[in-house]
Structure 1
Amino acid sequence: LGIAPIFVEISARGEIGGAIAQLVRQRAQALVLLNSVRDQQFEIVDAAMKHRLPTLTEDPETVRKAGALIGYDATRAEQFRLRAEYIDRILRGARPAELPVQQPKKFELVINLKTARALGLTIPKELLLRADEVIQ
């Protein structure tokens, strides 16, 4: 695929701008936000936008609230349903180590066209048609 990940560590809010600048210096083409940085999502997306760096996330809410470009993950309802099934089985006596690994089946794709326009990006129509939500 020609993808080479670049990792930067941010241990304090004051380091966000410098970390994003470091990614840009290393010619990063996009930034992937993990759920572990949810508390800093607004600052990270804002800093990335200042450097014209698209942000992708596993949390569609970060697209809606913070302005990330694309979010893709299992729907919250699907995640809660799977958790509830496991809890129910365990409470009925199943041994956790013997429960099968289950994968979610329902996913949500959210695309922020406002962010795409601000970055000068064109999102292919094929992708827009597959999106569950497109933010204008």
Structure 2
Amino acid sequence: MFYLSRAKFLSFALWGLAGTISAGLVSCGGGETGGSSADMPFVAVSQFVEHPSLDAVQKGIKEGLEEAGYKDGESLRWELLSAQANPATAAQIAQKYAAARPDVIVAIATPSAQSAVSKAGNIPVIFSAVTDPLAAKLVESVEKPGGSVSGVSDLSPVKQHLALIKEILPEAETLGVIYSAGEDNSVSLVNLVKENASEAGFNEVREATVASSSEVATAARSLVGSVDAIYVPTDNTVVSALESVVQVGKENSLPVFSGDTDSVERGVIASIGFNYYDIGIQTGEMVVKILKGARPGDLPVEFANVLRLYINPSAAESMGVTLPESVIERADETVQ
């Protein structure tokens, strides 16, 4: 817990170590960290890793704030740091922000949210792109989060994903899933896949786990010959190295599907989901409520409710798949 009586001491101590800590922290861009911005509302953003989905969330948050009149450098102090998929770095960022005492800490993705909540004390924390905030022990309930935490979940429509894969590959029986066992959100999603696989028509789910993005290609190759398709959930570690999974799929005529729609443009065959930019806008609106005096614990956790079908016919062809006309006709977005 962060004690207010020690705030001044910790602030000077940690900022004095900024040169040391900064070697492990990566700025993703964003505003100033001091000086003339001191009297502006201060929003400190911790992003677990840079990849298109989380980048879209961050962009949406910032633009959501701008729409409400909070513009970086003019009426808002904005700081953004990336942990580069390193939990230890996420913890360093959380400690730095706890000492800086911003008006709101925004944590993008589960590991960053867990780190932020563990260090923030009574500083409001709004999370985004967190699949299962209950399993991650971020909130007491989604209806009444309690404490100083709330946010927006990116819980995937797993049942719809499985139904889509089966519609495209009706003969598929074994589904491979690549994920990081160290990400609570991924474990929750894989459990949902296993719980719903039989109902969707799959006989078996085979798991390949990774500890870092450098292991993703090896995990994908380990599934070749033993599964009929690969499903990549919204796992930050795996999605950051998605191209290596897509390459394995192309080389082995092994269809690859994803839990997020941004990955369709990067080479997977199809997905059903929401736009992560919209998740960001939704999160930004929640941050605005905090800046205007709302308590996070009084704000229910929000979920995306608009789903869209994205397809990539050329990716399908490269993996030996012909998309059914039924899928092509109802697609909301077709990647050319």
TM-score (norm: length of structure 2): 0.36
Q: Which has the higher strand share?
A: 2
- Cα contact 1:69–1:116 (8 A) shared by 2: yes
Query: C-alpha displacement at 1:88, in angstroms?
Result: 1.7
Query: C-alpha displacement at 1:40, in angstroms?
Result: 0.7
Structure 1 range deviating more: 100-109 or 47-56: 100-109
Give the aligned residue type for 1:57. S
Structure 1 range deviating more: 27-36 or 6-15: 6-15
Gaps of 5+ in 2: 1-198
Q: How many residues align?
A: 134
1:32 corresponds to which of 217, 220, 231: 231
- Cα contact 1:16–1:47 (8 A) shared by 2: no
Query: C-alpha displacement at 1:5, in angstroms?
Result: 2.6
TM-score (norm: length of structure 1): 0.80
Tell me, in whole angstroms, the C-alpha distance in 2 between the residues paired with 1:17 and 1:77: 28
Tell me, in whole angstroms, the C-alpha distance in 1 between the residues paired with 2:273 and 2:244: 21
Structure 1 range deviating more: 12-21 or 69-78: 12-21
Tell me, in whole angstroms, the C-alpha distance in 2 between the residues paired with 1:90 and 1:115: 43
Residue number in structure 1 paired with 2:335: 135
Query: C-alpha displacement at 1:46, in angstroms?
Result: 0.5
Q: Describe how 1:83-122 pairs up with structure 2 within 5 A.
A: 83-122=283-322
Query: C-alpha displacement at 1:103, in angstroms?
Result: 2.1
Q: 1:75 to 1:12 in 2, by over 3 A?
A: closer
Q: 1:96 to 1:14 in 2, by over 3 A?
A: closer
Tell me, in whole angstroms, the C-alpha distance in 1 between the residues paired with 2:335 and 2:281: 27
Query: C-alpha displacement at 1:8, in angstroms?
Result: 0.9
Encode CA deviations 1:1-52: one digit per residue, 9 max, x unaligned: 2333322122355544432232124x22221223412321111210122122
Q: Over aligned residues, Cα RMSD in angstroms?
A: 2.2
Encode CA deviations 1:28-80: one digit per residue, 9 max, x unaligned: 2221223412321111210122122211113323221x311113321134212
- Cα contact 1:78–1:105 (8 A) shared by 2: no
Residue number in structure 1 paired with 2:260: 59
Give the aligned residue type for 1:108. R
Q: Does 1:49 align with 2:250?
A: yes
Tell me, in whole angstroms, the C-alpha distance in 1 between the residues paired with 2:227 and 2:298: 42
Residue number in structure 1 paired with 2:271: 71
Tell me, in whole angstroms, the C-alpha distance in 2 between the residues paired with 1:5 and 1:82: 34
Q: Secondary structure at the match of 1:5?
A: strand
Q: Which of structures 1 and 2 has the bigger CA Rg?
A: 2
Tell me, in whole angstroms, the C-alpha distance in 2 between the residues paired with 1:14 and 1:90: 38
Q: Which has the higher helix share?
A: 1
Gaps of 5+ in 1: none
- Cα contact 2:259–2:272 (8 A) shared by 1: yes
Tell me, in whole angstroms, the C-alpha distance in 2 between the residues paired with 1:20 and 1:76: 25
Query: C-alpha displacement at 1:129, in angstroms?
Result: 1.9
Give the aligned residue type for 1:111. I
- Cα contact 1:35–1:59 (8 A) shared by 2: no
